[in-house]
């Protein structure tokens, strides 16, 4: 019974979120909920407020009023670090990696930070055998094992995107936010990235912004349509696809 309640409680919720830049109102009253384990896509035309919404959720921007809840707790005023520790992790539209560290070192570093083990000590990193094993397993899972010791900046773009995602997944987030994970990738690579994400445990809910409708309709359980700062529709991919309202938003009147 208790489990049932947990299953259905929202992992992410926003209540009456109000955001404006100067006199320009972006959202007036945004109420949004995302359930545990959901694969949730946000779509909408340019200027619909998608990126602003994600920035509010991750703490890059502060709302004028309203609250953001993660797993039932208010996080509106938490720092980005506190949000990560609370289980909310994001990736970036542009690759943001550690140039001088190789992929293995980067992932080990992420795991050390997740477990708060990167504190002052005299013990070599090699003593953390369990974390190193976990790092290697993650790299293998995302098909990066052969690149583990190579220069990060020499990796092809698609592999850098994958490494970006591995760094986020390594933190075992409750909620993973992906801002256009397939941007700059070929259709084939985009599908590879999403099929890897589809295999992640349902302990991690995923919220992603994506322009490629094929990816959205194939991999999302729920789709939210944003237009002009409002949540126009939130439903299954089939219903969204059929909706005349959505067509109108995208194609104009």
The distance of closest approach from Cβ of residue 162 to other proteins in the complex, given in angstroms and rounded to an integer, is 16
The distance of closest approach from Cβ of residue 194 to other proteins in the complex, given in angstroms and rounded to an integer, is 21
Q: Which stretch binds other proteins (CB under 8 A): 6-14, 140-148, 188-196, 218-226?
A: 140-148
* Residue 121: CB atoms within 10 Å: 8
The distance of closest approach from Cβ of residue 87 to other proteins in the complex, given in angstroms and rounded to an integer, is 10
The distance of closest approach from Cβ of residue 105 to other proteins in the complex, given in angstroms and rounded to an integer, is 6
Q: Packing angle between helix 157-169 and helix 187-198, nearest 10 degrees?
A: 20
Question: What's the Cα-to-Cα distance from 134 to each of 109, 128, 195, rounded to whole Å?
Answer: 12, 10, 20
* Distance separating alpha carbons of residues 56 and 67, to the nearest angstrom: 10
Among 145, 183, 213, 230, binds other proteins (CB under 8 A): 145
**x/- track of binding to other proteins for residues 97-136 (CB under 8 A):** xxxxxx-xxx-xxx-xxx--xxxxxxxxxx-xx--xx-xx
Cβ closest to other proteins, residue 108 vs residue 231: 108
3-class secondary structure, 229: coil
Name the phi and psi angles at 137, rounded to 5.
-65, -40
User: 204, 169 in Cβ contact below 8 A?
Assistant: yes
137 is a contact residue toward other proteins (CB under 8 A): yes
* Distance separating alpha carbons of residues 207 and 219, to the nearest angstrom: 11
The distance of closest approach from Cβ of residue 56 to other proteins in the complex, given in angstroms and rounded to an integer, is 16
Q: Which of residues 146-205 bind other proteins (CB under 8 A)?
A: 148-149, 167, 171
Among 31, 96, 214, 236, binds other proteins (CB under 8 A): 96
Cβ closest to other proteins, residue 61 vs residue 112: 112
Cβ closest to other proteins, residue 41 vs residue 135: 135
DSSP states of 34-87: EETT-EEEEE--TTSSHHHHHHHHHTSS--SEEEEEETTEE-TT--HHHHHHHT
The distance of closest approach from Cβ of residue 137 to other proteins in the complex, given in angstroms and rounded to an integer, is 6
**x/- track of binding to other proteins for residues 54-83 (CB under 8 A):** --------------------------xx--
Which residues are CB-neighbours of 216 under 8 A, at least 6 positions away? 41, 43, 210, 223, 237
Partnered with residue 208 across adjacent β-strands are 41, 178
212 is a contact residue toward other proteins (CB under 8 A): no
* Distance separating alpha carbons of residues 226 and 138, to the nearest angstrom: 34
**Which residues contact other proteins (rule: CB under 8 A)?**
80-81, 84-85, 89-90, 92, 96-102, 104-106, 108-110, 112-114, 117-126, 128-129, 132-133, 135-137, 139-140, 145, 148-149, 167, 171
């Amino acid at each position: 019974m208790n489990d049932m309640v947990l299953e259905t409680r929202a992992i992410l919720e926003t209540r009456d979120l109000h955001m404006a830049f100067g006199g320009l109102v972006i959202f007036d009253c945004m109420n949004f909920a995302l359930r545990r384990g959901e694969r949730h896509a946000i779509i909408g035309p340019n200027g619909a407020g998608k990126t602003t919404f994600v920035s509010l959720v991750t703490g890059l921007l502060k709302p004028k009023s309203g609250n953001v809840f993660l797993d039932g707790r208010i996080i509106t005023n938490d720092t980005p670090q506190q949000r990560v520790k609370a289980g909310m992790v994001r990736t970036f539209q542009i690759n943001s990696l550690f140039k001088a560290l190789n992929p293995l070192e980067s992932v080990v570093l992420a795991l050390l930070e997740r477990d708060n083990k990167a504190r002052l000590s005299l013990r070599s990193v090699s003593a953390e055998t369990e974390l190193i094993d976990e790092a290697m397993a993650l790299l293998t899972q995302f098909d990066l094992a052969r690149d583990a010791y190579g220069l990060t900046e020499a990796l092809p773009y698609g592999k850098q995107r994958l490494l970006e995602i591995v760094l986020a997944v390594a933190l075992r987030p409750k909620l993973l936010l992906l801002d256009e994970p397939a941007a700059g990738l070929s259709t084939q690579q985009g599908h590879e990235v999403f099929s890897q994400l589809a295999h992640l445990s349902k302990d991690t809910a995923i919220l992603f912004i994506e322009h490629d409708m094929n990816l959205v309709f194939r991999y999302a359980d729920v789709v939210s349509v944003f237009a002009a700062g409002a949540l126009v529709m939130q439903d299954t991919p089939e219903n969204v696809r059929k909706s005349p309202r959505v067509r109108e938003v995208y194609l104009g009147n």
